[in-house]
Structure 1
Amino acid sequence: MATFFPVGGVLVIAALLLPVSVVLGGFPAMMTLERAFPIDNRVHELSQLRARDRIRHGRMLQSSNGGGVIDFPIGGTFNPFLVGLYYTTVKLGSPPREFYVQIDTGSDVLWVGCNSCKGCPQSSGLKIQLNSFDPGSSSTASVISCSDKRCNAGSESSDSSCSPQNNQCIYTFNYGDGSGSSGYYVSDLFYLDTADGDSVTSNSSASIVFGCSTSLTGELMKPDRAVDGIFGFGQQEMSVISQLSSQGIAPKVFSHCLKGDDAGGGILVLGEIVDPNIVYTPLVPSQPHYNLNLESITVSGQKLPIDPSVFATSGSQGTIVDSGTTLAYLAEGAYNSLMDAISNAVSQYANPVVSHGIQCYSVSSSTNIFPQVSLNFAGGASMVLGPESYLIEQDSDAASTTWCIGFQKSDTHDLTILGDLVLVDKIVVYDLAGQRIGWADYDCSMSVNVSTTGTKSVNTDPRKVDSSLQNEALKLTPITIISFLMLISMLNSFW
């Protein structure tokens, strides 16, 4: 289960992510992972991964003012041929009832299926027991009325309106792929385990507003990867992070560290992971998702000739951090320059191969011939990527190995999406209070230090971490936080 630690006004969720295969039979904590595609057609697999990401990017939540929130669930193991779904359990209501919910960094609302839900799956290919929420069976549940100010807060995250027949605040999420969820908002207890220092005390709770879905459509109806609902990690007022922060229970910050090996896993913390090597860049203000100001790209220290307007945030244009996208996608103007620079750097040592639109190279030596790529952001923060961070092995024989470039051209031409390709093996901190995102290279199988003070001010120097944050830190290791278990299911199908 997910365990929460409010320490000095700070709430931390820490999770050990274990790989689980979707197979018939029991549901053990760890099993051998299954591949999504046959091993003898790897370039074709990569093109299918790109198609999978395209579907995911098309799932745009339409807000009432015509703007959009892109639905980006957190991905699983980085191995692009093993597609994962991260989910955890939450307890709601009185008496408490447990629900499996998918982690989603792109939406804001926590919602679970209602007992009256039409289209909600009755079974799951993840081999988990699905539950539904019944407000009438919870002694602490109350339906949010149309006049409740929290109903207005819900309009930031969805199409929110009033049901005059029963005075319910109702919502609708419509996705670009034809799927959707609709229902009404309720208030009830959300159960947490609290900690003071290293001691743990359970049976704590907080009252939050969440969605009770009465109807699902499209992909959400399919049982193969069904869970009870979605746990939104967005920035708006209705997100659980924002609600707990407003009650003084949690900081408005969360962090993750996803392992880049085939086994996947990592740590997710509702709190701030601190490390002296973390660099920060500001979030673009007034955006519904996690937009950053990407200013330039350098290859082997040389700045690429990219018009800065390519990275400007406006409408559907900009740079988004998305741990739910498998690869990474560059706006057309940036992609072409990067591919040219990499090609020029390896032209004497590698034979170019293009298949299914994927740029690959056949190499008889090591990957050291490929250049270092640096993504440079506002505030002086850079994400430095060695060849191992953007190359994907396709084929190998005694004479050579074929490596493909994980960067892809964005289908929207002007949108850059930084997915798992560049986010794995890094601490990534989403500091919503300070309106910044930070990262540092890290071995995600190692322990992490979590601040118990929260962010008190924005650090203007992105190359440093406020030393005061390290005065009170909770050290978490994947070995000792078994009670913070979060399951990861490795799916045999794509989104």
Structure 2
Amino acid sequence: MASSSSSSHVPPLFFLACVFLISCTESGKHGGGITLDLMHRDSPDSPLYQSSYTRYQRLTNAFRRSFSRKSSLHRTYKVINSGSGSDSGSFESSLTPIVGEYLMKIFIGTPPVEIMGIADTGSDLTWTQCKPCSSCFNQRNPLFDPENTETYRKLSCEAPMCSAVGQSSCDAENKCDYEVSYGDASHSTGELATETLALGNVEFPKVVFGCGHDNGGTFNATETGIVGLGGGDISIVKQLDKWIGGRFSYCLTPLDVNVSSKISFGANAIVTGPKVVSTPLVQKSPSTFYFLTLEGISVGDNKLEYVTNDEDGGDYDEQSDEGNIIIDSGTTLTFLPQELYSGLEAAVVKVMKNKRVADPEGVFELCYKLPRQGELDIPPIVVHFTGADLEVTPASTFLEVRPGLACLTFLPSDSFFIFGNLHQMNVNVGYDLVKKQVNFLPTDCSKFV
């Protein structure tokens, strides 16, 4: 752990708009692995780019998505753990909002059809809009047509994956139908089927996906559906297990750097090196979420322990010990327990010499006025997971959220805690579902190969 303060220029708001388009420029087998490019949603090259927005507006939108996603993730957790639903059952009916944090380009069918789906580590089922469409949202790409592919097979009701999707039913033809809805009222209804799926030039046969005939909600015309990267049985991470060994990783570049981020599967997703730190994945419900154990956080030499407070735990007290926080690529900010956050804020205030000011929007708890000349002197902050101490970059701990105003990007929460993607930038984050651990390797992601 570092013991001295380090200076860092607070990055512009562009830094944190955290949605990526996944496209393949290094596709193919590389020793059994696949690596794809990631494109930030607010890059001028992105199909989601809004030229009329300022950098501050883009960042504000990212923060709003964080709060919306956190609320929906929390609802999902409560539904599953209240006894009113099962891990594989009602979970999909209260999934995260479709906020478009990442877009992923995959290919389905023979011959292959390009699918531009929202990549989500908080969802399991992969689905796309299909013909015939009784009710569909507008999309730029042609709808997937099962009649034009040689490898499309409807899933029967007896297939194990029929029950894995959650809400499913059988029709007169013994075809497995699915229905999923999300926290922002988006939805998809259709049939489960198997198809050939390709990541870049690498094809995987008989992957279960949803062929949606009735879909709607907050989708952009660029998007065609969802790519599920969660930990549940029907996610493509689990379905491709014998090819990728339950491994995927990503390396997110600071978004003021004009270099693509990367996402890898299989052998390319093995995170190694002398500076790798690893923490266990905790198996809890819902299995879709990636639970870690947060033990504390340090500001310089001041280490603050995570202390269980049953009175404040509420419906979240089951996560007070092991598996008390989730790591999520779709949430921008990091949400900490109230008591731990209060200690963090006090420790930061003690060492910061800049003028503290209030956030006029009331979003952030701790903000400072940026000096006309010079930089904020930001202390080193280390997040302590079980077995893994990860120092987050100074550039990610404070952001210029409005002109001349820099705010701490950790926030308090009364219940449900999330380690967000901002604090994962310039870290190679590897998920190993076989060893049941997450590996962190501080990396200059702009130079990641």
Name the TM-score, length of structure 1 as normaliser.
Answer: 0.72
1:356 aligns with 2:361: yes
Q: For the residues of structure 1 that align with 2:37 and 2:394, how far apart are their CA atoms?
A: 28
Q: Is the 8 A contact 2:117 2:224 kept in 1?
A: yes
- The letter for the 1-side match of 2:163 is N
Which has the larger displacement, 251-260 or 284-293? 284-293
Confirm whether residue 269 of structure 1 aligns to residue 269 of structure 2.
no
1:41-120 alignment to 2 at 5 Å?
42=56, 48-60=61-73, 64-65=85-86, 68=91, 85-120=101-136
* 8 Å CA contact 1:131, 1:228 repeated in 2: no
Query: Aligned partners of 1:98, 1:135: CA distance in 2, in Å?
Result: 13
1:385-404 to 2 correspondences below 5 Å = 385-394=392-401, 401-404=404-407
Question: Which of 168, 191, 194 is matched with 2:198 structurally?
Answer: 191
State which drifts further: 105-114 or 211-220.
Answer: 211-220
Q: Distance in 2 between matches of 1:192 and 1:296?
A: 38
Distance 1:189 1:297 in 2: 45
Report deviation, 1:191.
3.4
How far the C-alpha of 1:315 sits from its partner, in A, is: 6.4
Please tell me the residue identity of whatever aligns with 1:374. Answer: V
1:363 offset after TM fit, Å? 4.3
Corresponding position of 1:371? 379
Deviations 1:230-268 (A, max 9, x none): 1111112212222222xx322211000111132463011
Paired letter, 2:130: C
* Displacement of 1:393: 1.8
What is the identity, as a one-letter code, of the residue corresponding to 2:35?
Answer: A
Q: Per-residue displacement from partner, 1:434-464 (whole Å, max 9, x unpaired)? A: 11111122111113xxxxxxxxxxxxxxxxx
Alpha-carbon distance in 1 for matches of 2:204, 2:329: 29
1:17 paired residue number? 38
Asked if 1 retains the 8 angstrom alpha-carbon contact of 2:196 and 2:203, the reply is: no
Do the aligned partners of residues 315 and 134 (structure 1) sit closer, same or farther apart at CA in structure 2, a change above 3 Å counting?
Answer: farther
Q: Structure 1: how far apart are the matches of 2:204 and 2:91?
A: 32
Q: Is the 8 A contact 2:156 2:176 kept in 1?
A: yes
**Corresponding residue for residue 420 of structure 1:** 421
2:252 pairs with 1:258: yes
Asked whether the 8 Å contact 2:188–2:216 carries over to 1, the reply is yes
1: distance between equivalents of 2:48 and 2:105? Answer: 23
Structure 1's 205 and 416: CA in aligned 2 closer, same or farther, altered over 3 A?
Answer: closer
Residue 73 of structure 1 and its aligned partner are, at CA, apart by: 9.0
Bigger fraction of residues in helix: 2
Which of 240, 263, 273 is equivalent to 2:236?
240
Q: After the TM superposition, which residues 472-491 of structure 1 pair with which residues of structure 2 at under 5 Å, given as runs? A: 476=449
Shift of 1:368: 5.6
For residues 32 and 431 of structure 1, the distance between their equivalents in structure 2, rounded to whole angstroms, comes to 31
Secondary structure of the residue aligned to 1:356 is coil
Query: Counterpart amino acid of 1:50?
Result: F
Equivalent AA in structure 1 for residue 400 of structure 2: E
Whose strand proportion is higher, 1 or 2? Answer: 1
Q: What's 1:81 paired with? A: none
CA apart distance, 1:314: 2.2
Q: Give the letter aligned to residue 335 of structure 1.
A: Y
Q: Does 1:299 align with 2:295?
A: no
Give the partner amino acid of 1:122: N
- The 5 Å alignment of 1:456-467 reads none
1:281 corresponds to which of 276, 279, 282:
279
How much identity, in percent, do the aligned residues show? 28
Contact preservation (8 Å) 1:73, 1:106: no
Q: 1:325 is matched by which residue type in structure 2? A: T
2:160 to 133, 143, 149: 149
Change in CA separation of 1:373 and 1:74 when aligned onto 2, cut-off 3 Å: farther
Name the SS for the 1:219 alignment partner. Answer: coil
| Counterpart secondary structure, 1:122 | coil
Q: 1: CA distance between counterparts of 2:176 and 2:445?
A: 42
Matching residue of 1:344: 350
Q: Contact conserved, 1:21 with 1:34, CA < 8 A, in 2?
A: yes
5+ long unaligned stretches in structure 2: 1-22
Q: Secondary structure at the residue paired with 1:15?
A: strand
Q: Secondary structure at the match of 2:132?
A: strand
Give the number of aligned pairs: 400
Q: State the match for 2:433 in structure 1.
A: 432
1:422 counterpart SS class: helix
For residue 177 of structure 1, the aligned residue among 178, 181, 184 is 184
- Output the CA distance in 1 between the equivalents of 2:128 and 2:175: 17
Residue of structure 2 equivalent to 1:332: 338
Which residue identity does 2:446 align to in structure 1? Answer: S
CA contact (8 A) 1:319 1:418 kept: yes
Change (3 A) 1:55 1:349: closer
The amino acid of 1:150's aligned partner reads: M
- SS of 1:284 mapped into structure 2: coil
- Letter aligned with residue 406 of structure 1: T
Deviations 1:259-313 (A, max 9, x none): 1132463011013243312211001113420110001112112122642457987
SS in 2 for 1:304: strand
Which segment drifts farther, 171-180 or 299-308?
A: 299-308
- Cα distance in structure 1, aligned partners of 2:68 and 2:112: 35
Per-residue CA distance 1:1-57 (angstroms, 9 max, x = gap): 53654566x4x331223457698xxxxx57996567446xx5x87665432222223
CA deviation after TM superposition for structure 1 residue 146, in Å: 0.9
Contact conserved, 1:372 with 1:387, CA < 8 A, in 2?
A: yes
Looking at structure 2, the residues matched to 435 and 179 of structure 1 have their Cα atoms a distance apart, in angstroms, of 31
1:212 positional shift: 0.7
Unaligned runs of 5+ in 1: 24-28, 76-83, 124-128, 194-201, 448-475, 477-495
1:115, 1:35 → 2: CA distance? 33
